[in-house]
Each structure stands twice: as structure tokens, then as C-alpha cells.
Amino acid sequence: MTRSAIEVLRAGALSTVQDLGRPGWAHLGVPRSGALDPAALRLANRLVGNPEHAAGLEITLTGCTLRLTRATTVAVTGAEVPVRAGDRPGDTGRPLTVPAGTVLRIGPARRGVRSWLAVAGGIEVPPVLGSRSTDTLSGLGPPALRDGDLLPLGEPPRAPARST
């Protein structure tokens, strides 16, 4: 059985996997890392029915293009960005139902710098020291996204918020 995944078609300037970070390791020189705006990631996760700590994508300035291998619900929060699921527009701050195989385009930021994408079930890259976050300074966690990457998705924990 093939796992559900996000296929990265265009990674953008700096798109990374982020959760709420790895607190408690500073005494060993390990930075907290995690989403730059934890409230935005928490909101995106709540909109798709995930626990607030689930991993999502932090997308910087130029946006990204993804394909989802399963039907799911997504939400984008943070910077004001255009969102399109196939030919259908979406809104930041609202859940969006996406059929399997749909190309999801998160455009360049019109206002703000970073946006957060949550997918029902979360992104399930292997955790490092209790976090799935990319830390570009220490090199912990998954590397920044590259075109062609496949990011595994977890199973949605419960019914997501009402979608558009």
C-alpha cells in the first residue's frame, strides 16, 4: 500500500517542515526551532482537525506548488497569499477540501513573508529529539524542501472543520 504524501512540484525560496519545535534541549546547545509564528501553525492545524502540535509546512515569500496523493483538507494561514486547488481558488484562514491528485498552488506573499500549510493528518517525517521541525542552523530535522520531495502524511485524527 502506498502511503499518502505531498509531492513537492516547486519548493519555492525556503519551504520547510515545522511543528512547535524541540524545547528543553538548549542545555545541550540544541535550538528550539519550530514555526516562526506558532499561533499561525496552531490555527492552520485546528482548521483541518489536527492536534495543534502536528507538523505542517512553513512557506517563505515566493510560495510553492504541491500535489496531494489523497483527498484531504488543507488550510493556509499567515501571510496574505493566493491559494488555488486545481482551478478552484481558496482563502487563507479557511479549510479547503482537496481531491486526490490535485495540484495545490500557494502563490507569492502579497502581504507578510511566511505562510503555514496544515494538511489533515499532519506531515509525518521522522522526528528528531521529539520534533519534526527543520532547523537550518543546526541541521536537525528534514532538509528544506526540494522539487521532487515526497512528504508522508499521517492519518487524519478526526473530522476536520467545515470546508469550502
The reported pLDDT for the residue numbered 27 is 87
The reported pLDDT for the residue numbered 122 is 97
pLDDT surpassing 70 at residue 16: yes
Contacts of 60 (CB under 8 A, 6+ apart): 12, 13, 14, 15, 113, 114
pLDDT surpassing 50 at residue 1: no
Own/partner long-range contacts of 22-28 (Cβ < 8 Å, ≥24 apart):
22/128, 22/129, 22/130, 22/131, 22/133, 22/135, 22/140, 25/129
Cα angle vertex 81, ends 124, 69, to 5°? 35
Contacts of 69 (CB under 8 A, 6+ apart): 2, 4, 5, 6, 7, 100, 101, 153
Average pLDDT over residues 20-36: 90
The reported pLDDT for the residue numbered 29 is 84
Domain count along the chain: 1
What does the pLDDT look like over 106-156, one tens digit per residue? Answer: 999 999 999 999 999 999 999 999 999 999 988 999 999 999 999 999 998
The reported pLDDT for the residue numbered 26 is 85
Residue 157 belongs to some domain of the structure: no
Residue-number span of the structural domain to which 57 is assigned = 5-152
For residue 75, give the 3-state DSSP assignment: strand
The reported pLDDT for the residue numbered 150 is 97
Strands across the sheet with 14-18, in order?
A: 14-18, 56-60, 111-119, 72-80, 96-98
Contacts of 131 (CB under 8 A, 6+ apart): 19, 20, 21, 22, 33, 34, 140, 141
Comparing 58 with 162, the larger pLDDT belongs to 58
Q: Phi and psi (nearest 5°) for 18?
A: -140, 145
Residue 41 belongs to some domain of the structure: yes
Number of Cβ atoms within 10 Å of the Cβ of 162: 10
Report the Cα 87 to chain-centroid distance in Å.
21
Mean pLDDT of the chain: 93
What does the pLDDT look like over 34-86, one tens digit per residue? Answer: 999 999 999 999 999 999 999 999 999 999 999 999 999 999 999 999 999 99
